[in-house]
Amino acid sequence: MNKLKLTSDFDSTADFILYEGDIKELLKNVPDNFTKLVVTSPPYNIGKTYEKKLHIKDYLDEQKKVIQECVRVCHPEGSICWQVGNYVDNGEIIPLDVLLYPIFSSLKLHMRNRIVWHFGHGLHASKRFSGRYEVILWFTKSKNYTFNLDEVRVPQKYPNKKHFKGPQKGQFSGNPLGKNPSDVWEIPNVKSNHIEKTVHPCQFPIELIERLVLSLTNKGDWVLDPFMGVGSTAIAALLHRRRVMGAEIVPEYNKITRERLELAESGHLKIRPMERSVYDPNSPNKNIPPKTIKIYSFSEQLDFLEKSQLNFFENPNKGGI
């Protein structure tokens, strides 16, 4: 079995590039138009353990430097997804997407959705309503972009609904593959009892990134997360046969990323399945249990594909891929 090829600096033959330092350094070595998807949750400048709180103008200048480089390395048919919440100053909230949007539009990106990510857990506010959503700003680099909607359809609310008149009377009215998941996503955030929880205070649920990886990239494409944290984007990308790169400045988080990767490679990492609906106290037994995943190196997948294709051409009745 081939081990996953993990490198610590840019290498176009790697499965996973984990740069243990400032993202601006890694980006210097990445060629133009290289990666199909950039997806990240940047530091929010709210004084988390891993960040120094900057004046908001300096914070935006720093973000602009990284975003400009992300646009340069993004493939012409690629996407950039920036997941953010609120900056809080003296009890007042300032939505970061509002501040960041002008940077993206000045770089001539095309905005496709402002996805609202709704979740159930968080701080209980006493002087305002408790915050229960963040957003994902999705931009494409051009008008011709990868979007695989069928990969991420969700079950219809009324799957048996039929046309009641007209030439299609009696036929099912909804798409049999399911419906468009819309721009409001209800996905639990990673809090203490979530199966994916590590010490990181704000890690992505893997299923959130799976949806973006599946819809905005194809197998073999590159995914970049400039602020990698504990490697959630990497797990989502590798699980679906993409390659991935990113940077993280905190050594402890990089250690956890490596541990999660080893667990996934040996087939022991547990994640919350995409198909699982949010907890419903009225039907607690309906929950799908966590699933255990295994990831493979890209070259191993190619071997597998070549062998099954060969098998198919030598003996078509046996079936292939």
Ligand X SMILES: C[S@@+](CC[C@H](N)C(=O)[O-])C[C@H]1O[C@@H](n2cnc3c(N)ncnc32)[C@H](O)[C@@H]1O
| Residue 222 binds ligand X, judged by CB under 6 A | no
Q: Is 81 helix (H, G, I), strand (E, B) or coil?
A: strand
Size of the site for ligand X (CB under 6 A): 19
Out of 56, 88, 116, 249, the residue judged to bind ligand X by CB under 6 A: 249
Residue 321 Cβ vs ligand X, minimum distance, rounded to whole Å: 32
43 near ligand X (CB under 6 A): yes
Instruction: Tell me the angle at which helices 206-216 and 232-239 cross, rounded to the nearest 10 degrees.
Output: 50
Q: Are residues 260 and 231 in contact, defined by beta-carbon separation less than 8 angstroms?
A: yes
Q: Is 312 in the site for ligand X (CB under 6 A)?
A: no
The smaller minimum CB distance to ligand X, of residues 215 and 254, is found at 254
Q: Which residue's CB is nearer to ligand X, number 24 or number 162? A: 24
According to CB under 6 A, which one of 45, 86, 140, 203 is a site residue for ligand X?
203
Nearer to ligand X, 78 or 229 (CB): 229
For residue 271, what is the enclosing H or E element? strand 269-271
Q: Which is nearer to ligand X, 191 or 307 (CB)?
A: 191
Q: To the nearest whole angstrom, how small is the minimum distance from the Cβ of residue 186 to ligand X?
A: 19
As a dihedral over the C-alpha atoms of residue 283, residue 286, residue 289, residue 293, rounded to 10 degrees, the angle is -130
The reply on whether position 200 binds ligand X by CB under 6 A is yes
- Select 250 or 302, whichever has its Cβ closest to ligand X: 250
User: Is 152 or 256 the residue whose CB approaches ligand X more closely?
Assistant: 256
- Per the CB < 8 A criterion, the answer to whether 197 and 190 are in contact is yes
Q: What is the DSSP letter of 218?
A: -
**Least distance between ligand X and beta carbon 31 (Å):** 20
Asked whether position 185 contacts ligand X by CB under 6 A, the answer is no
From the list 194, 187, 235, the residue with the least C-alpha distance to 213 is 235
Task: Give the residue from 200, 175, 180 showing the smallest Cα distance to 190.
Answer: 200
Q: Which part of the chain contacts ligand X (CB under 6 A), choosing from 97-105, 180-188, 195-203, 292-300?
A: 195-203
Amino acid (one-letter) located at 296: Y
Q: Which of 217, 232, 254, 297 binds ligand X (CB under 6 A)?
A: 232
Q: Which of residues 49-68 bind ligand X (CB under 6 A)?
A: 50-51
The two three-digit tokens of residue 210, written as one number? 């799976």
Minimum distance from residue 319 beta carbon to ligand X (Å): 38
Among residues 19 and 77, whose Cβ is nearest to ligand X?
Answer: 19
Question: What is the number of other CB atoms lying within 10 angstroms of the CB of residue 127?
Answer: 5
| Contacting range for ligand X; rule: CB under 6 A; set: 157-165, 243-251, 265-273, 274-282 | 243-251
What 269-276 contacts at long range (C-beta under 8 Å, 24+ apart), as own/partner pairs, is 269/235, 269/293, 270/195, 270/196, 271/195, 271/196, 271/206, 271/207, 271/235, 272/188, 272/194, 272/195, 272/196, 272/205, 272/206, 272/207, 273/207, 274/207, 274/210, 274/211
Which amino acid type is present at position 220?
G
Site for ligand X contains 77 (CB under 6 A): no
Contact residues toward ligand X (CB under 6 A) are 22-23, 41, 43, 50-51, 200, 202-204, 227, 229-230, 232, 247-250, 253
